[in-house]
Amino acid sequence: MTDIAALKARRDRALGAGAALFYETPLHIVRGEGAWLFDPDGRRYVDMYNNVPCVGHGNPVVAEAMGRQQATLNVHSRYLHEGILAFAERLAALHGPQIESVVFSCSGTEANEVALRTARFATGKRGIVCTDATYHGNSELVGALTRAGAAGPADPLVRAFPFPQTYRPLVEGLSEDELCEAYLARLSASIADLEASGVGFAALIVCSIFANEGLPNIPKGFMAKAAALAHAAGGLVIADEVQAGYCRTGRWWGYEVSGFTPDIVVTGKPMGNGLPLAATAASRALIETFRARTRYFNTFASSPLQAAVGMAVLDEIEGRGLRDNAATVGAFLKTELTARAPAWDAIGDVRGEGLFLGVEMISGGAARTPDTALAGRVANRLKDKGFLTSNAGQFNNIVKIRPPLVFSRADAEAFLAAFDETVVELRG
Amino acid sequence: MTDIAALKARRDRALGAGAALFYETPLHIVRGEGAWLFDPDGRRYVDMYNNVPCVGHGNPVVAEAMGRQQATLNVHSRYLHEGILAFAERLAALHGPQIESVVFSCSGTEANEVALRTARFATGKRGIVCTDATYHGNSELVGALTRAGAAGPADPLVRAFPFPQTYRPLVEGLSEDELCEAYLARLSASIADLEASGVGFAALIVCSIFANEGLPNIPKGFMAKAAALAHAAGGLVIADEVQAGYCRTGRWWGYEVSGFTPDIVVTGKPMGNGLPLAATAASRALIETFRARTRYFNTFASSPLQAAVGMAVLDEIEGRGLRDNAATVGAFLKTELTARAPAWDAIGDVRGEGLFLGVEMISGGAARTPDTALAGRVANRLKDKGFLTSNAGQFNNIVKIRPPLVFSRADAEAFLAAFDETVVELRG
């Protein structure tokens, strides 16, 4: 048995106290296999949280590709190497014809920096519009978008509009079309405000499925109209697919689910199954504008290692039919969870697509009061039963379910049994 | 034979034209071994540029550790894992007692972001002082330090002072002590200017050996006095050891060479022998200030993979005596290059420590006019002979020699023969 308190104390010194840990009693993990994680005593946990190891923890194909390429060659990108070209071409071909060229980097933060700066260079404007409950990364530039307007002094270059949703609508009592227009009006006002302030409007950036906002159902047609509005105002549309993309929703890209065509696509987390790897993809003209203005060089990016691992991940997704698996198992899980809602009035809503689902915990019935504490209890209880989830959303009151793409129907059935137990135990 | 033009055209589309390439005719590389790189025809190049693969291209110990850990477990840091704690402890122990805790990240850029933001949080001030010919990374925040003041609108939060050097001194005709005071006066003026402007002084950041500035010989005692001056003004001292550290100079850290004690140490490039891995290390109090203010989380950082690879690199450096190798082979190379200077008046100076040397190319004799074009011709000529160097420095007129730490005396002797040929061919 691990002495959790001793390990935690050691960690508080080595990494500094305040480095985030999951669960009331943190979990000590030593091994992974597919959708499962194991503690030092060999206890198995079904991983329903981690999207980074998309083709499975310990995936042998990826590990072999990684070790082999590292043993062969891993060097920066100022020499010619075919690997990264083939990977860039394959990645671009997964999008529509407007996406031609790629800037690789090491994290979603770095890739979003490239996207925002590209938009600024291309438009000659500086203002960015995002939602009011988003997260796109941790640098000073990208971090300024985190829950913009929610706390602290407003950044003069950023405006946040209320994220679109039908569950807690901006205005009650509207039709879906009217609600859509209400959100568009707020987006439009944000753009107008940037223009009036003199910084101008460079880009609208959204997670294509509004993951950190809580996977809302959005008014039908909203994103297509939002993109058109941004374009009409002279700005670009950036799709942050760090969480939404790579078959997470049962489709390749979240923008297919939400129905819009981005100018710039940012990808990250699952690309390397754990190797630091991210990308900013756009038209060749946009990418070349960025390169001309910055002479950007990223020591570890566009490397033979990133290429070999990135290709192995795509091979696994395609060869094992993991997009279909995400769609099928995800649909089963969503149907089953939705069917459970009537049995517990604390389940306010079940949302999401594919293997990215959220169960919204509420109290107060029709008041739909977010129950953050209860969502935390659910995640901790499920962890005790061997199922790893987390919490998310604007109020952190959502049980977040986002397993590796290899998550199976059998895993889902086992989870549902544990979820049923949890409902009985916590329903009181 | 590679069709270089065709590969270049393919790259221009996949990555966008403007992605930097070395040499007049770019080099197509497919394999590496120790200090050697190989093209598709099996032609061998002695790598005298790459500091990232510090324990050698294709190092089997590192590749094995990487593949094994990836096959075992590679997951984010919100679970407990002993690997990253042991690595953080080992890294901190390589510094003095003021360095206790570590924030890991994926690139030197990310690590410098953490350092700068930590200094701002800790001091409550925002102003940063750097040199006028530096580079610390490519994000918007860190990129603002790149040759600050040299071009574009001045960042109100940044001041640049002339980097210290004896080769092209700030004022001619002074004693070394007087010159030291002259540079300190400029640093002091930068700090005072930040304070007068209302943003205040948060930190002095320098590459400990002023690598991008051109590896200058600095007035004796300058850095210790500069650090004292920064501290007296209430600011912190950040040592960027991304290039300077990890035994590059024949000592563990560049600040040992320059003689100062930093509050925050940033490391990157060589840490993972090519795996994206960087770190910001400081006192526990400083690191905890950063964590409390940001709730920083970096998806790919502090992972079991970073830990396993980082430990393997340290094992190789220590087990194979690579610090001593850098000191010994570097001293031999510097002595031999210095001995060649009288034979070619274009060699203005030979500088550096360990396996990081610079040969300054000039014209005009006593005028010491930087000869950037000649430095480029030397690097290209050496490449044709099978030796890979590059150019650096304030005027890009320095032949930059910075091989993997495994670079041998035999490699150095072969290089010197090629250098002698180059001198004869270009001296005219």
Q: Which residue has the tokens 């912190």?
A: B236
Among B257, B289, B319, the domain-final residue is B319
CB distance A31–B72 less than 8 Å? yes
Whether B162 and B292 map to the same domain: the answer is yes
Same domain, B254 and B132: yes
Q: B360 and B214 in one domain?
A: no
Q: Are residues A331 and A282 in the same domain?
A: no
Shared domain for B252 and B308, answered yes or no, is yes
The distance from CA B259 to its chain's CA centroid, rounded to whole angstroms, is 17
Domain at A143, CATH number:
3.40.640.10
Contact (CB, 8 A) for B137 and B105: no
Say which of A100, A113, A274 has its CB closest to residue B13: A100
Name the residue range of residue A23's domain: 4-55+321-427
Tens of pLDDT along B252-301?
Answer: 999 999 999 999 999 999 999 999 999 999 999 999 999 999 999 999 99
Do A295 and B18 contact (CB within 8 A), yes or no?
yes
CB A187 within 8 A of CB A231: no
Cβ within 8 Å, pair B70-A73: no
Structure tokens belonging to residue A320 = 């094992």
Instruction: State whether B15 and B76 are in the same domain.
Output: no
At residue A305, the pLDDT reads 98
Pairing of strands A201-207, A158-161: unpaired
- When CB atoms are compared, the residue of A18, A50, A80 closest to B7 is A80
**Which residue type occupies B93?**
A
Q: How far off is chain A from B287, nearest CA to CA, in Å?
A: 6
Identify the band that residue B154 occupies on the pLDDT scale cut at 50, 70 and 90.
confident
CA distance A31 to chain B (A): 5
Alpha-carbon span B261 to B247, nearest angstrom: 17
Q: Which of B4, B70, B388 to mutate to test the interface with A (most CBs of A within 10 A)?
A: B70
B contacts of A66 (beta carbons < 8 Å): 66-67, 70
Do B78 and B180 reside in the same domain of the chain? yes
Cβ contact, residue pair B50, A76, below 8 Å? yes
Domain boundary among A302, A319, A336: A319
pLDDT confidence of residue B290: 98
pLDDT of B147 reads 77
Compare all CA atoms of chain B with the CA of A106 and give the residue at the minimum distance.
Answer: B106
Chain B: closest CA distance from residue A314 (Å): 17
Same domain for B205 and B86, yes or no, is yes
> What is the chain B residue with the closest CA to A111?
B139
For the CA atoms of A417, A209, B138, B198, what is the dihedral angle to 10 degrees?
-100
Judging contacts by C-beta atoms under 8 Å, the chain B residues touching residue A37 are 73, 75, 79
The pLDDT tens digits of the residues spanning B72-94 come to 999 999 999 999 999 999 999 99
The pLDDT confidence band at residue B152, using thresholds 50, 70 and 90, is: low
- Is A300–B68 a contact, with Cβ atoms under 8 angstroms apart? no
CA distance A281 to chain B (A): 9
Q: Are residues B28 and B71 in the same domain?
A: no
Identify any residues that bridge with B260 across adjacent strands, giving them in sequence order: none
The minimum CA-CA distance between B292 and chain A, rounded to whole Å, is 6
* Beta carbons of B139 and A141 less than 8 Å apart: yes
Q: Quick one: tokens of B408?
A: 């041998």
From the list B106, B274, B305, the residue facing A303 with the nearest CB is B274
Name which of A12, A37, A70 to mutate to probe chain B: the one with the most chain B Cβ atoms within 10 A of its Cβ: A70
Residue of B nearest to A102 (CA): B15
Q: Which of A53, A75, A302 sits opposite B15 (nearest CB)?
A: A302
User: How many inter-chain contacts (A to B, CB under 8 Å) are there?
Assistant: 306
Same domain, B329 and B315: no
C-alpha distances (whole Å) from B388 to each of A305, A307, B19, B272, B334 are 21, 23, 19, 22, 17
In angstroms, the separation between the Cα of residue A290 and the nearest Cα of chain B is 9
What pLDDT score does B397 carry?
98
Question: Does the distance separating the beta carbons of B77 and A298 come in below 8 Å?
Answer: no
Region for residue B47 given its phi and psi (left: phi exceeds 0; alpha: psi -120 to 50; beta: otherwise):
beta
Residue among B60, B75, B292 minimizing CB distance to A32: B75
Report the distance separating Cα A288 and Cα B348, nearest Å: 37
Shared-domain flag, residues B314 and B363: no
User: CB distance A71–B58 less than 8 Å?
Assistant: yes
Confidence of residue B149 (pLDDT cuts 50, 70, 90): low
Average pLDDT, chain B: 97
Contacts 24+ apart (CB under 8 A), A342-350: A343/A423, A343/A427, A344/A423, A344/A427, A346/A371, A346/A374, A346/A426, A346/A427, A348/A167, A349/A167
Contacting residues of A for B276, CB less than 8 Å apart: 106, 275-276, 300-301
Q: Is there a contact between B354 and B317 (Cβ–Cβ < 8 Å)?
A: no
CATH classification of the domain holding A371: 3.90.1150.10
Of A71, A276, A298, the CB nearest to B63: A71
State the pLDDT at residue A20: 95
Q: Are residues B91 and B237 in the same domain?
A: yes
B106 contacts A276? CB cut-off 8 A: yes
Tens digit of pLDDT per residue, chain A (428 long)?
789 999 999 999 999 999 999 999 999 999 999 999 999 999 999 999 999 999 999 999 999 999 999 999 999 999 999 999 999 999 999 999 999 999 999 999 999 999 999 999 999 999 999 999 999 999 999 999 997 755 556 789 999 999 999 999 999 999 999 999 999 999 999 999 999 999 999 999 999 999 999 999 999 999 999 999 999 999 999 999 999 999 999 999 999 999 999 999 999 999 999 999 999 999 999 999 999 999 999 999 999 999 999 999 999 999 999 999 999 999 999 999 999 999 999 999 999 999 999 999 999 999 999 999 999 999 999 999 999 999 999 999 999 999 999 999 999 999 999 999 999 999 97
Strands A127-131 and A158-161: parallel
Under the banding of pLDDT at 50, 70 and 90, the label for residue B150 is low
Distance from CA of B57 to the nearest CA of A (A): 6
Distance (Å, whole) CA A77 – CA A81:
8
CA angle A419, A420, A421 (to 5 degrees): 90
Contact: B294, A143; criterion CB under 8 Å: yes
Q: What distance in Å separates residue B73's CA from the closest CA in chain A?
A: 5
Per-state percent for chain A, helix, strand, coil, to nearest 5: 45, 20, 40
Please name the residue of chain A whose CA is at the shortest distance from the CA of residue B2.
Answer: A80
Considering only the beta carbons, identify the residue of B14, B80, B88 that sits closest to A28.
Answer: B80
Residue position matching structure tokens 């994926």: B106
Within B113-245, strands assigned E span 127-131, 158-161, 201-207, 236-240
Residue-wise DSSP of A224-240: HHHHHHHHHTT-EEEEE
Last residue of a domain, one of B319, B344, B374: B319
Structural domains in chain A (count)? 2
Please say if the pLDDT value at position B2 is more than 90. Answer: no
